[in-house]
Amino acid sequence: MFRRSFLFFLILILFLSINFIQSFAESKRVSQFIIINKSINRLAFYENGKLVRVFKVATGKSQDLTPEGKFKIVTKIVNRPYYKNNIPGGDPRNPLGNRWLGLNARGTWGTTYAIHGNNNPSSIGTYASHGCVRMYDEEVEWLFDHVMKNTTVLIISSKQSFQNIAVANHLFDEDSGIVVVSKPSDISTSLQLGSVGTEVEWLQDTLTKLGYSTNGVDGYFAEGTDQAVRAFQQDNNLDVDGVVAQGTIKLLISKLQEKHRETVSAYFYTFTLKKIKVNGETRSDSQLNGVQKLNY
């Protein structure tokens, strides 16, 4: 009797602890965004709705070089080589400095446009780059350590304050920490080896959740993603061609929804302490049934 009661309360405490930890983690979710105002060559970093720091930056030599719009940080690289002149990363001659925050601007995927350091501090605050956003090395190191991948970056030319820019562009409403494809079933093109973009991130994220490792979620449809896709297709009796067309996409969505339902169902295991009569003896029904699963 005592042993059953002890076991029951131990499991109950464990169950409540898991829910508390999950709730606490969700309440601590961090949201971030960056605004770069080319009119004043300043970068503002926001976290959880508050302006944390403002940095002086350098932008394009002409107005059209640094793209304007809303982008995502899709790559984070320490000591990126300067491939154009074969200068290794970390070399004092490297004009990219020691940190690279790649943006998915103008159809690229973090390989062309970026927020990065530099080896010419006197250029900061001026219009000097070929399109990237330059920062002082020590300041881009700080930003690199604090900003998350997939954070929204708004590049704009405006006379408004950072606060007004953020409000006008609905930046306070966005969750920067999640890969979002609003309607995966509406992905218009097939995804395959060599594809890049947010749709590939969704694919990698979904496959990973279903237990198929893609060697990371980075938006690049490389060998790891190709192998995961083929394994998923083989396990589900699809044509094993590595091409993610509508048939594969719909099945991925279905499997993900099924997994979600199973996860939710697990949380509906519950204990009841109601006293009932059994053969004239008052007992709690937990002593009769143990853990009960609610069907819904």
Is residue 170 part of the annotated active site? The answer reads: no
Residue 156 in tokens: 């704009």
Is residue 130 part of the annotated active site? The answer reads: no
The residue from 116, 130, 170, 260 that is catalytic is 116
The residue from 132, 146, 170, 260 that is catalytic is 132
Catalytic residue numbers, as ranges: 116, 132
